[in-house]
Amino acid sequence: MSQFDVCVIGAGPGGYVAAIRSAQLGLKTVIIEREYMGGVCLNVGCIPSKAMISASHFFHRVGHDAAEMGINVGEPKLDMKQLQKWKQSVCDKMAGGVAQLLKGNSVEVIDGEATFKSKDELVVKSKKGDVSVRAKNFIIATGSRPIEIPGFKFDEKDILSSTGGLALSELPSKVVVIGGGYIGLEIAGFLSKLGTHITVLEAGAELLSGVADKEAVQVVARKLKKQGVNVITQAKAKSWKKSGKGLEVTAEVGGKDQTFECDKVLVTVGRKPNSDQLNLKGVGIQMDERGFIKVNPQMKTNLPGIFAIGDIAGQPMLAHKASHEGVLVAEIISGKNRVFDAKTIPAVIFTDPEIASAGLTEEQCKAKGFNDLKIGKFPFAANGRAVSVMETDGFVKIIADAKTDIVLGVHIVGPEASNLISEAVLAIEMGARAEDIALTIHPHPTLGETMMEAAEATLGHAIHIIQRPLREGAKSAPART
């Protein structure tokens, strides 16, 4: 039996970060992983999906935009097996890097599946036999998995989860995507660009409901339609069957059943925490009605010495939140007085164009009592860098409190939104005003200038769009390009 200061269960972006930081702080640390070093994110989630999205964007632009620039390369051809090989090399490189970091920080690694024997001890089933591990502190970071819906059990052949959707060795001709959330739209987007006909069945009234600015979602919806993606809202998938050489999905649309032919069905209706494992209930760890482990602002569970981070500890289920919590818990265990006190957690959706958000939406502002707002928007169509790279869809929107000018929310839909949002996160964390962003000199020509110009628009004096004078008491100045 081994004794440690810290035992981390799960080597995803929360777990491995927690283990590394714990070791840096002088704590004897072990990490247990049953499947993927780097977790879902590095192996079958964030990283492979972004690799596929990048490849599809490149493929699409070669076939559609290159000639307009005077670059004639002919019709591009797709080698799906080579694409998958390249994608896997990216994942392997990242996972290998995690293994090296753990080794370099003297973190002991145990490959196997852990189960709590008591609140002080784990039993790990490994290829070498059972291993008992005792620790003063345990950090549960076992993540989440895709949700199945009735009648659509995953087999990763006909009915795919996100994992299967990222591992296709042959490009399907037609795919029905059940669920119009961010995972479904990201995979639908890259498959569509590679040449697959996509039908999205969304049970709700709109795509990306509740997860992004409504105006930003409209930009993405228009782009999907332009790409030929068939989006059907208020459509409830009921069943599927094999039909000829393909599949047939039945969905209730507007009170009537409709059928949709396809080669594959991709189910992306969300993820659920892996809290039915580890014998959590057996040792008395409390969970809520959705299966998330209950934690306080220090990520402590109801049992002393046991912490939970990442997806299993509640929404939002984002890798960067998990990593932040991993550092937080390691420092708390080492004796630092810290709590989770982030003002905002940025969210990014890698659709085309990308959506990125920090802070509050207009609806959330009003729900919190901010009824007097200043809202400024600056379109990428008026940005020189965006025009030069032929990526002009979308805008930057800044929402500020009209009484104080403090920035409450920033929403970006457009090229490199995922990279641009960090400035907004810092601004909100620091309590910046719109004027602080507007007066910050941004380099030219860059996409980042749109943040400065959106702040100027919020104040009513944008330079590169025409605004009518801001009336006293008005929430924002109308603009046109």
Q: What is the DSSP letter of 463?
A: S
Contact between residue 118 and residue 304 where contact means Cβ atoms under 8 Å apart: no
Q: What angle do CA 124, 126, 132 make, to 5 degrees?
A: 30
Q: How far is CA 11 from CA 31, 177, 205, 291, 313, in A?
A: 7, 30, 37, 20, 15
Residue 380 carries which DSSP code? Answer: G
Whether 413 and 216 have beta carbons less than 8 Å apart is answered as yes
Quick check: helix, strand or coil at residue 394?
coil
- For residues 349 and 211, the answer to whether their CB atoms sit within 8 Å is yes
Residue with tokens 């995972």: 183
Mutual orientation of helices 80-104 and 46-64 as an angle, nearest 10°? 140
Helix (H) or strand (E) segment spanning residue 215 = helix 214-227
Which residues 6+ apart lie within 8 Å of 104 measured at CB? Answer: none
- Distance CA(301)–CA(140), nearest Å, equals 10
Spacing of C-alpha 252 from chain mean position: 29
| Residues contacting residue 388 through CB under 8 Å, at least 6 positions apart | 445
Q: Nearest to residue 140, comparing CAs of 26, 309, 23?
A: 309
Using DSSP bridges, classify how beta strands 271-273 and 144-146 pair: parallel, antiparallel or unpaired: antiparallel
Locate 153 and state its tokens: 């059990």
For 472, other C-beta atoms within 10 Å of its C-beta total 5
Tell which residue, 164, 228, 167, has the closest CA to residue 200. 228
Asked if 197 is an active-site residue, the reply is no
Position of tokens 């809290």? Answer: 275
Nearest Cα to 41, choosing from 110, 143, 111, 112? 143
Answer for the pair 160, 27: CB distance below 8 angstroms, yes or no. no
Q: For residues 356 and 320, what is the distance between their CA atoms, to the nearest angstrom? A: 14
Contact 428, 365 (CB under 8 A): no
Q: What is the DSSP letter of 169?
A: S
Q: CA dist 34 to 119, 142, 312, Å?
A: 20, 10, 16
Of 64, 324, 444, 461, which one is the catalytic site residue?
444
* Whether 160 contacts 248, CB under 8 Å: no
Residues with active-site annotation: 444
